[in-house]
């Protein structure tokens, strides 16, 4: 069986792969995202394209150091075409959630697979999420209860936890929202004979 490597320190992505029964190792991608994002934004790139490129860069970087199929992934939050980054503090998280309140945003999740510094698979999926018009009191209680945990995701929520209460409507794949288009990845790995068909 082909060796699988996840070039990501994301616990959520590792949980998704483990839950799907994959045998893999996890390594850091070693990619500095900031200059890539800045350069792409300077050229007018859309958040969806940025998610794809970052996933590809992580897969390629990992594949120069590890044998087998190296999986890279990234997710961007797109609010009316603007790229939104992770909040650095609870005060910033509160402001972010107020900005999302009553509005739709999109999550673009990119996945790429590389072998020996060559891309062999790239895919991006998008989910659209409509945040409900929650009260300030509910928001304060949510942030107090979940604390710094909300800073681990770009939208300041975990759909698999209490963050699901933020939403009135969700269109898209659950795995995409968690940061990995899992079904498309599994299909590719079966075609590559890296998983039993």
Residue 38: which domain range?
A: 4-191
Cα separation of 186 and 191, whole Å? 9
Q: Let me know: does 175 contact 181? Beta carbons within 8 Å.
A: yes
pLDDT by residue (tens digit) across 172-197? 999 999 999 999 999 999 999 999 98
Helices (H), the chain: 11-19, 33-42, 47-63, 90-100, 136-146, 174-178, 182-191
Residue 74 bears catalytic tag: yes
Q: Is residue 21 part of a domain?
A: yes
Cα separation of 77 and 85, whole Å? 7
User: Residue 154 is part of a domain; what is its CATH number?
Assistant: 3.90.950.10
Q: Is residue 196 part of a domain?
A: no
Q: Is residue 158 part of a domain?
A: yes
Q: Could you give the count of Cα atoms lying within 13 Å of 185 in the half-sphere of its Cβ? A: 28
pLDDT by residue (tens digit) across 16-75? 999 999 999 999 888 999 999 999 999 999 999 999 999 999 999 999 999 999 999 999
Exactly one of 23, 67, 74, 78 is catalytic; name it: 74
Q: Is residue 197 part of a domain?
A: no
Q: Is residue 45 part of a domain?
A: yes
Cα separation of 46 and 92, whole Å? 23
Q: Could you give the count of Cα atoms lying within 13 Å of 70 in the half-sphere of its Cβ? A: 25
pLDDT by residue (tens digit) across 114-141? 999 999 999 999 999 999 999 999 999 9
**Greatest pairwise CA separation for the chain in angstroms:** 53
Three-class SS state of 137: helix
Q: What is the pTM of this model?
A: 0.94
Number of domains in the chain: 1
């Amino acid at each position: 069986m082909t060796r699988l490597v996840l070039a990501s320190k994301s616990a959520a992505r590792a949980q998704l792969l483990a839950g799907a029964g994959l045998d893999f190792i996890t390594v850091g991608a070693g990619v500095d995202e900031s200059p890539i994002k800045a350069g792409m934004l300077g050229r007018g790139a859309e958040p969806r394209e940025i998610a794809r490129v970052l996933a590809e860069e992580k897969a390629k970087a990992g594949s120069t150091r590890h044998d087998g199929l190296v999986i890279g992934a990234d997710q961007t939050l797109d609010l009316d075409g603007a790229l939104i980054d992770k909040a650095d503090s609870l005060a910033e998280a509160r402001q972010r959630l107020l900005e999302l309140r009553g509005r739709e945003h999109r999550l673009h999740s990119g996945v790429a697979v590389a072998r020996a510094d060559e891309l062999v698979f790239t895919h991006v999926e998008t989910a659209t999420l409509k945040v409900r018009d929650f009260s300030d009191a509910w928001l304060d209680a949510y942030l107090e209860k979940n604390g710094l945990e909300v800073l681990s995701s770009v939208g300041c929520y975990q759909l698999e936890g209490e963050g699901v209460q933020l939403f009135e409507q969700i269109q898209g794949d659950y795995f995409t929202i968690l940061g990995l288009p899992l079904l498309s990845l599994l299909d590719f790995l079966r075609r590559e004979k890296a998983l039993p068909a």
